[in-house]
Amino acid sequence: MTQDIFLLIEHIQGQVSDISYIMAAAARELAKHEGGNVIGILFGSSSEGLKDSLAVDKVIYCDHPALTEFTSDAYKRTLISLLEEYSPRAILFGNTTLGAGVSSSLSSHLKFPVINSCIKVSDSGSIISQICGGKIMVECQLGDKTTVITVNPGGYKPEEGQSGSSPETINFSAPDLENLKVQLTQYIEPEAGDVDISQEKILIAIGRGIQTEDNIELADELAKLLGGAVCASRPVIDQGWLSSSRLVGKSGKKVKPDLYLCLGISGATEHIEAITDSKTIIAVNSDPDAPIFDIAQYGIEVDLFDFIDPLLEQIENAKND
Amino acid sequence: MAVSGTQNSLPFTVEFKESLFKIPEGENIQACLQCACCSGVCPFGFAMDFPPGRMIAWMRAGILDEMLESDSVWMCVSCYACTEVCPKEIPITLALMTRAKEEALLAGNVPAELQSALEFSQQYSNPLGESSRKRAAWTEELDFEIPVMRKAKRPVDVLWFVGDYASYHPRVKNVTIAFATLLNILGIDFGILGPDEHSDGDSQRLAGERGLFEMLAEKNAKIISRCEFSEIITTDPHAYNAFKNEYPKLGFDFPVRHYTEFLVDHLDNITPLFKKNGKAKVAYHDPCYLGRVNKIYDAPRQLIQAIPGLELIEMAHNKSTSLCCGGGGGGMWLDGFRWEKSESRLSEWRVKEAAAVKADILAVACPYEPPRFEDAVKAITGAEELQVKDIVELIVDAIGN
Amino acid sequence: MTEIVVIARLVPDLVEELEIAPNGTALDLAWLRLIINEFDNHAIEQAIILKERSGATVTIISPEAEGVEDMLFTTAAKGADRLIKLTGVGEEKPTNLSMAQTLAEMIKEINPDLVLNGVQAHDDITGDLAPQLADLLDMPYVGYISGVSLGDGKATAFKEYPGGVLAEIEIALPAVLGIQSSEEPPRYVAISKVRQMMNTASIEDRDAGVLETEGGVIIDRMYLPEAADRAEMLEGDEEEVASKLTAILQDLGLL
């Protein structure tokens, strides 16, 4: 086993995901303690260029048509084959729709220890993870064998994992990728013609606390007054009260507004990770222990419904002055 | 396709009708005149596909299955207005409407908001989804201790059943704290169940979840039977109704009074405590489950009239004709649904009546009402100055603590 | 007849406060209240939807925990056919690999076409269960699924990607899917129906065997996060707070 830290670079439709850079930052920290290199794993088809600007020392690149886009079977097979040749200290995956499944499959197959939901590496080189909706922290040591680690956003910013130079490529030949059991037929984009919340400067976000579909009109009014748009966390979208294009969260959009005013959102990790680039977060929630208050700049602990009408009135007056 | 709630192989309508006869006086339904008084007096009758009268007509025609596909039964606020006016004394609310909701629920026809409230009631013993462990957290705001029965392990004179909204809702907690303060001032030996208290389940029962009601009743009865007390008092007319009328049917018999009845007995001790109070016109809203259902109209009025400076006035609808605030029959958890169907809110109708008689204060005696009416006050022009206060709050304010 | 197996687990209820056990490396069980893993609830719903749509036998397997019988009877009331409870699980949480090994043995006997499990559970630190199970069963795994239909020897599923994008995926059966959300929100089932099931349905107990609680990774400690950098709370009643917030919005130049 070497002391190198590997990470699986994630890309979707030609775009490298932010998590890849976040992992690079985490890997660099870990490598400082373990003493090895940071090596990115890149699978694709004519995708070598995607390695650029990743702050890794080298990239192991495997080119094959079946690897053009992520599919779990092709990636798993290629990773297993790669790990027959390489034996890193640890291998990082995003805790995402790409990385989460394949990391666990790999750990089971190769009997590698696995740690979930890492957000950062501590000063002593241990892995700090966050579980139970952000309410519990876990500190772990790497196992005796190559340790699989899934990484969440929250500890490092993508900028910390970027670099100006392009890392050197080591080529790797794909194993047999015939008769794959998982095929990607097509991507389906969300309904066009709707607001792109990832581009909006002012967002009014609603969560479970909005309680009924009917109450969404309160958020609409607020959004209109402030010149923004309404978005939501998962529970609202699951009810079908807003289109999925309005979902903010791990499976939805990442947003970077100037103002993120959230109403009745508790602050589950999957939601928080998508709003950390907001300039100002203001949270309204009647639960003083809601995790959202840990990342908001301002917090308001009132019953949402008692608060909205006075707020609308005051804003209206302030605008007219 | 109608899905029957039981394993009976009879057509739904027949089986439904037969189930109604099992409810006391349910067989009166056979004498229905189709006079439409029920559908007419129903506050949401206009928004229902199947108001009570029509439900009976279709049942007679043997084609009630369609009702299961309609969600209009969820407009019923279980206010008993129909039951009150029926010339043939058919227990419409208890028998027909509640049974219809039970069937709709069994068929999987239940609005999402209601679903969460029912699931929370099961998981947390309260429909608000709050931790059951924190049910007595409100007592921390007092500067005196209230015995929690499990820890106190001693008999008390009065067991106070607090209730869900009274324990957790920020506005209603004020009423709870006022009542605790009053009991303390009067030197009453009382205790509460604290985290061992489960939702009385009455509104969940009326929302069609009989199984949930029975489960909660069993849990409450188990705890209460281990306590020693002379009587139960409650600030919640729904809990009062449960203990008085429904728990005995399950074999759980506990003496219970509503707080208004209790305080009337103590008026001689309360009256000397009153200080000079400002003048105000007070319109009293008869809660459905205290007034129309359980016929307690005078005790609350006596209390108001005992408070110096307050002039009791009546609204256009009062006592047995009182207008429902809209919280019943699961209404606390169906506001969005009902608004979409009817574009009206019963609480706003009531607030307009209070404004029409130029009331300064709308006095209430049920935990659903302060938040509902205060919301309505914000929506009605001409009612901006109207205060909503529970009678307990009026008493404690006049004592000046 | 299509055979579907659903793995359903109970997880700590986050409505309650979580405390760390005296040993410092696990959650304090005395404080723990359990609730069904929301994603597993979706997996159950998806299985029932598939059964209603095209016929299937649905088996639910759950490790024992406080309240698991109620949960299993609830799935029966929704339409599950067979209920299996894993006994001998012990108080300490086993690693997901170990749990997967036990489940794999049981599932091989059933020989299903499809295995559904919630895509994640919030108290998992030792990897995700479903992909490890898939690996041991030598079945393909796809996660973050929000819709499935079954065809001849294959399933078509929709996998969720960021930005509201979906990927249409074809998977050879038998397969394991990690469910993110069912096609319809999980249905409500009346308690009277669940109680009925308690009398008519039965739960099979199966011994979980030896389960490992350590997975090659050393947990140094579990701890509660510091409440550092908390939001500045705006105080006052609704009017006052509304006024303060309006002032902040003005200062930020947003009005």
**How many cross-chain Cβ pairs, A to C, lie less than 8 Å apart?**
270
Residue B238 — very low, low, confident or very high, per pLDDT cuts 50/70/90?
Answer: very high
A311/B340 Cα distance (integer angstroms): 24
Strand partners, C166: A188, C160
Lowest-pLDDT range of B143-152, B264-273, C122-131, C246-255: C246-255
Neighbours of chain A (3+ CB pairs under 8 A): B, C
B86 three-class SS: coil
Residue A192 — very low, low, confident or very high, per pLDDT cuts 50/70/90?
Answer: low
In C69-139 the beta strands, taken as DSSP E runs, fall at 82-87, 114-118
pLDDT tops 50 at residue C161: yes
B336 touches chain A (CB under 8 A): yes
Cα(first)–Cα(last) distance of chain C, in Å? 62
B14/B4 Cα distance (integer angstroms): 11
Taking contacts as CB-CB distances below 8 angstroms, the residues of chain B near C28 are none
Tell me, what's the pLDDT at B2?
47
Domain borders along chain B are: 12-106, 114-265, 271-399
B185 touches chain C (CB under 8 A): no
Whether C239 maps to a domain, the answer reads no
B294-327 pLDDT, tens per residue? 999 999 999 999 999 999 999 999 999 999 999 9
- Sorted by sequence, the CB contacts under 8 Å of residue A123 that are 6+ apart come out as none
Taking contacts as CB-CB distances below 8 angstroms, the residues of chain A near B134 are none
In A152-233 the beta strands, taken as DSSP E runs, fall at 168-172, 182-188, 202-206, 229-232
Taking contacts as CB-CB distances below 8 angstroms, the residues of chain C near B123 are 13, 35
Structural domain tally of chain C? 1
pLDDT tops 60 at residue C89: yes
pLDDT tops 60 at residue B378: yes
C38 three-class SS: helix
Q: Would you tell me the crossing angle of helices B210-225 and C191-200 to the nearest 10 degrees?
A: 80
Nearest chain A residue to B341, by CA: A214
Q: Would you tell me the crossing angle of helices C96-110 and A99-110 to the nearest 10 degrees?
A: 90
Highest mean pLDDT (candidates A209-223, B165-179, C240-254): B165-179
Residue B8 — very low, low, confident or very high, per pLDDT cuts 50/70/90?
Answer: very low
Tell me, what's the pLDDT at C228?
58
Domain borders along chain A are: 5-172, 197-320
C32-50 pLDDT, tens per residue? 899 999 999 999 999 999 9
Tell me, what's the pLDDT at B7?
46
pLDDT tops 90 at residue C229: no
pLDDT tops 50 at residue B248: yes
Whether C249 maps to a domain, the answer reads no
CB B78 within 8 A of CB B63: no
Owner of token pair 């006592």: B319
How big is chain C, counted in residues?
255
Nearest chain C residue to B5, by CA: C193
Determine how β-strand A15-16 pairs with β-strand A11-12: antiparallel
DSSP string for residues in C130-158: HHHHHHHHT--EEEEEEEEEE-SSEEEEE
Tell me, what's the pLDDT at A190?
77
Q: Do C216 and A113 touch (CB under 8 A)?
A: yes
Average pLDDT of every residue of chain C: 94
Q: Do A116 and C127 touch (CB under 8 A)?
A: yes
Percent of chain C whose predicted confidence (pLDDT) is above 90: 82
Tell me, what's the pLDDT at C67?
94
Neighbours of chain B (3+ CB pairs under 8 A): A, C
Highest mean pLDDT (candidates A61-65, A274-278, A295-299, B112-116): A61-65
DSSP string for residues in C8-69: --EEE-TTSPP-B-TTSSSB-TTT--EEE-HHHHHHHHHHHHHHHHH--EEEEEEE--TTHH
pLDDT tops 80 at residue B39: yes
Buried b vs exposed e over B217-242: b needs ≥16 C-beta within 10 Å?
Answer: bebbbeebeebebeebbbbbbbbbbb
B215 touches chain C (CB under 8 A): yes
Interface of B with A in 374-393 (CB under 8 A): 374-375, 378
Count of H helices and E strands in chain B?
20, 8
CB B352 within 8 A of CB B317: no
Percent of chain B whose predicted confidence (pLDDT) is above 90: 79
Owner of token pair 């025609």: B61
A172-186 pLDDT, tens per residue? 999 999 999 999 999
A132/A134 Cα distance (integer angstroms): 5
Tell me, what's the pLDDT at A193?
62
C185 touches chain B (CB under 8 A): yes
A51-92 pLDDT, tens per residue? 999 999 999 999 999 999 999 999 999 999 999 999 999 999
Tokens of C14: 């986050």
B353-376 pLDDT, tens per residue? 999 999 999 999 999 999 899 888
Tell me, what's the pLDDT at A291?
83
Which one of C35, C185, C188 has the shortest CB-CB distance to B123? C35
> How many angstroms away from the CA of B375 is the closest CA of chain A?
7
pLDDT tops 60 at residue B219: yes
Average pLDDT value for residue range C204-230: 87
A198 three-class SS: helix
C47/C35 Cα distance (integer angstroms): 20
Whether C150 maps to a domain, the answer reads yes
Taking contacts as CB-CB distances below 8 angstroms, the residues of chain B near A305 are 375
Residue B42 — very low, low, confident or very high, per pLDDT cuts 50/70/90?
Answer: very high
CATH fold group of domain A197-320 = Rossmann fold (3.40.50)
Residue B1 — very low, low, confident or very high, per pLDDT cuts 50/70/90?
Answer: very low
Interface test with C, best of A104, A124, A178, A224 (most C CBs within 10 A): A104
The three-point CA angle B250-B256-B262 to 5° equals: 170
> How many angstroms away from the CA of A213 is the closest CA of chain C?
15
- The helix (H) or strand (E) run that includes residue C233 is strand C232-233
A226/A206 Cα distance (integer angstroms): 15
Average pLDDT value for residue range B264-275: 95
Question: In CATH, what number does B12-106 get?
Answer: 1.10.1060.10
Which of C118, C34, C18, B130 has its CA nearest to residue A131?
Answer: C18
A136-163 pLDDT, tens per residue? 999 999 989 999 999 998 789 889 999 9
> How many angstroms away from the CA of A132 is the closest CA of chain C?
5
Interface test with C, best of A108, A145, A253, A277 (most C CBs within 10 A): A108
Average pLDDT of every residue of chain A: 92
C108-158 pLDDT, tens per residue? 999 999 999 999 999 999 999 999 999 999 999 999 999 999 999 999 999
Tell me, what's the pLDDT at B4?
44
Which one of B170, B335, B374 has the shortest CB-CB distance to A212? B335
Task: Burial-class residue A220 by CB neighbours within 10 Å (0-12, 13-18, 19+).
Answer: middle
Whether C162 maps to a domain, the answer reads yes
Starting at the earlier edge strand, list the strands of the sheet with B256-258: B190-192, B158-161, B231-234, B256-258
A105/A109 Cα distance (integer angstroms): 6
Average pLDDT value for residue range B223-244: 97
Average pLDDT value for residue range B217-237: 97
Owner of token pair 């602990």: A301
CATH number at residue C188: 3.40.50.620
Average pLDDT value for residue range C96-101: 96
C182/A227 Cα distance (integer angstroms): 34
Choose between B7 and A296: higher pLDDT: A296
C170 touches chain B (CB under 8 A): no
Whether C227 maps to a domain, the answer reads no
> How many angstroms away from the CA of B382 is the closest CA of chain A?
17
Tell me, what's the pLDDT at B11?
83
pLDDT tops 70 at residue A264: yes
Longest dimension (CA), chain B: 69
Neighbours of chain C (3+ CB pairs under 8 A): A, B
Nearest chain B residue to C34, by CA: B123
Whether C22 maps to a domain, the answer reads yes
DSSP 8-state code for residue C229: T
Task: Burial-class residue C160 by CB neighbours within 10 Å (0-12, 13-18, 19+).
Answer: buried
Choose between B7 and C163: higher pLDDT: C163
Owner of token pair 């000046």: B400
Taking contacts as CB-CB distances below 8 angstroms, the residues of chain C near B19 are none
**Domain limits for position C160:** 3-207
Residue A114 C-beta-side C-alpha neighbours within 13 Å: 33
Q: Do B171 and A303 touch (CB under 8 A)?
A: yes
Question: In CATH, what number does B271-399 get?
Answer: 3.40.50
Tell me, what's the pLDDT at B64?
87
Taking contacts as CB-CB distances below 8 angstroms, the residues of chain B near A211 are 113, 336
Whether C60 maps to a domain, the answer reads yes
Average pLDDT value for residue range C87-113: 94
Give this prediction's pTM.
0.89
Do B12-106 and B271-399 come out as alike in CATH topology? no
CB A292 within 8 A of CB B361: no
B47 touches chain C (CB under 8 A): no
Interface test with A, best of C35, C125, C145 (most A CBs within 10 A): C125
Give the right CATH number for A5-172 from 1.10.1740.10, 1.20.1250.20, 3.40.50.720, 3.40.50.620: 3.40.50.620
Give a three-class secondary structure readout of B303-354.
HHHHCCCEEEECCCCCHHHCCCCCCCCCHHHCHHHHHHHHCCCHHHHHHHHH
A94/A110 Cα distance (integer angstroms): 19
CATH fold group of domain B114-265 = Rossmann fold (3.40.50)
